[in-house]
Amino acid sequence: MATSAAAIEPKETTAAITVSYEHPWIVRLAHWLNAVALVVMIGSGLRIFRAFPSFGPKIPQEDLVHIPGQFTIGGWLGGALQWHFTFMWIFVGSGLMYVIYQLATGHWRQVLFMPRDIKGVWPMARHYFLFGPKPAVDAAYNPLQKLAYTSTIFFGVASTLTGLVLYKPAQFWWLAWPMGGFHFARIWHFAAMCGFVAFIPGHLIMVVLHGWNNFYSMVTGWKRDPEYLG
């Protein structure tokens, strides 16, 4: 990173700017809609969980956790359900928009985590978290990024399907079967939320570490002085 920063430095003083179009608008729109919806779905979901914070029977009821109200959205169960049942459309809609776009353009090949990426995960994690050497990456996304982004798609699909079973168990009882039944659907729904909660801090730390230009490219699509030109 140090070498590329040095190479970029002179360009800052010139008038012409090198920019690259990193993120098509459909991807950016899907990303930001989904980001907002995800926060609402987690916050309202925690409020809903607070009404019965257990995965066991009603009698006898054994609460697993107490979720403080300030981490939740909706104020009460009914309010949280309104948020949840409104933003689920935005959450699923933006997710579908992204997945369909990636499939249609073939871009999924750049971001989908494949078995061949497994060996590259540890060196990348060592670089990021343990100050190890930076592995050479000649692809759009490094193996750790692929793992993280592919995981979010998995969590999204899992939370949608388990949510469908919880919302409409009489209509989709057959869909509960591969999940281990209706009760497990609720556990998996919660687990998928935990997956997102695990992803978000790592993602935000990376955004901060990679600086303003990188962040801004997710807003306007154009990235100033892309690092691979350094």
Partner 1 sequence: MADDHPEERQRVGGSDPEQEPQAQRQAQSSEEQDSAQQEEVDAPLPSSGPAGEPIRIVSPIESKRMNRRELLKLVPVLAVGAFAISKFRQPLLDEGLHFSDWASGKLFGRHRLAQTFSNGDVVAFERFPYNFYDVADPGVDLEKWTLTVQGLVQRPGEYKLEQIQALPKIVQNTRHVCVEGWDVIGNFGGARASDFLRLIGADTSARFLETTCADGYYESIDMETMLHPQTLFCYEMYGKPLDRGHGAPLRLQMPTKLGYKQAKYLDSIRVTNVLQPDKRGYWEDQGYSWYGGL
Query: Contact region for partner 1 (CB under 8 A) — 64-72, 121-129, 145-153, 166-174?
Result: 166-174
Residue from 5, 64, 65, 140 touching partner 1 (CB under 8 A): that is 140
**DSSP, residue by residue, 61-104:** --------GGG-SSSSHHHHHHHHHHHHHHHHHHHHHHHHHHHH
When asked if residue 138 is in the footprint of partner 1 (CB under 8 A), the reply is yes
Nearer to partner 1, 23 or 127 (CB): 23
Output 85 or 154, the one with its CB closest to partner 1.
Answer: 85
Contact between 178 and partner 1 per CB under 8 A? no
Distance from C-alpha of 89 to C-alpha of 36, rounded to nearest angstrom: 12
Q: How far apart are the C-alpha atoms of 209 and 134, rounded to whole Å?
A: 14
By CB atoms closer than 10 A (0-12, 13-18, 19+), residue 160 is middle
2, 59, 130, 136: residue in contact with partner 1 (rule CB under 8 A): 59
Where does residue 95 rank: exposed (0-12), middle (13-18), buried (19+ CB within 10 A)?
A: buried
Of 22 and 117, the one with the shorter C-beta distance to partner 1 is: 22
d(CA 35, CA 196): 11
Shortest reach from residue 15's CB to partner 1, in Å: 4
Residue of the chain from 2, 3, 58, 131 that contacts partner 1 (CB under 8 A): 58
- The pattern of x and - marking residues 78 through 107 that bind partner 1 according to CB under 8 A reads xx-xxx-xxxxxx--------------xxx
Note whether 132 and 143 are within 8 A (CB). Answer: no
3-state secondary structure of 224: strand
203 binds partner 1 per the rule CB under 8 A: no
CA angle 31, 33, 39 (to 5 degrees): 100
Chain positions contacting partner 1, by CB under 8 A: 14-22, 24-25, 28-29, 32-33, 36-37, 40, 48-49, 51-52, 54, 57-59, 61, 77-79, 81-83, 85-90, 105-107, 110, 138-141, 168-171, 173, 182-183, 186, 216, 219-222, 224, 226, 228-229
